[in-house]
Amino acid sequence: MQDQVSATTAVKDTTTATFRQDVIAESARQPVLVDFWAPWCGPCKQLAPILEKAVEAAKGKVKLVKMNIDEHPQIPGQLGIQSIPAVIAFQRGQPVDGFMGAVPESQVKAFIERLVGPLGPSSLETLLAQADEAAKNRDVGGAAEGYAAALAQEPGNARALGGLARMQIESGALSEARRFLDMAPAEKADDPAISAARAALELAEQAANAGDLKGLEAAVAANPLDNQARFDLASALNAKGRREEAVDQLVAIIKRDRSWNDDGARKQLLQFFEAWGPMDEMTKLGRRKLSSVLFS
């Protein structure tokens, strides 16, 4: 694909060699969306025109850069891109937001609006965005109400079902969370919102086996070079909801010894990201911390 340039924005390809200039450096001026795709990916072909249309509507406030993961697998691999299409937004040299899958135009529009401000109204997307914001602020009741209202407008909406499941997990009602996940239509069973909520539910169900947190903290304090104890501590911290601390423990391992346990610390961090969801604030923070190690 040749570079496409309009009066308002640029849509271009990038490579492993040019990624730092096209994305890291360019994002110092305005947000840059990176579309990770492959020629064989049908959903990628569905998303591409929607994404380009939305970027054009932003009138130069964002740029779009496309990376073929077949030709350039290194960077998507480092960032934990495990399925495509995947879109990651960079600002000031760091990944700040993202989504996966061939999402509808309304969701792409809302994604860009979080970066650059309103582009126009969308009632369903407004409900979902408000529910997402309430969830980020730990307002479980308000978030659940918003997701339920969205579900009333569009029964089977994966984002609403996934959000409702997550709010039940936050409340400790794991059986109710599973009930909402089971309501997802078969064709949406692998939707990122459903997959993330399912992963979060599995982590919650495993929390009782997370290990002795105090014992692991003592082990790491006694021997900061004990990567296995630090790895186990990260798992225990995540199970207790201390997610930033969990991220920091894994990042410390990656910084010290990337090859430890066959890159196990980075892989575990990516599993956390999947469970938390690509738009979760802690996923964004974790990706920034991971990126600071990988691209420093």
Catalytic residues: 41, 44
Instruction: Concatenate the DSSP letters of all residues of 192-256 into one string.
Output: HHHHHHHHHHHHHHHGGGS--HHHHHHHHHH-TT-HHHHHHHHHHHHHTT-HHHHHHHHHHHHHH
CA neighbor of 13 nearest in space, from 63, 83, 82:
63
What is the DSSP track for 86-137? Answer: EEEEEETTEEEEEEES---HHHHHHHHHHHH---S--HHHHHHHHHHHHHHT
Residue with tokens 């609403």: 160
Per-residue DSSP letters for 251-282? HHHHHH-TTTTTTHHHHHHHHHHHHH-TTSHH
CA distance 88 to 111: 10
**Tokens at residue 153, please?**
């407008």
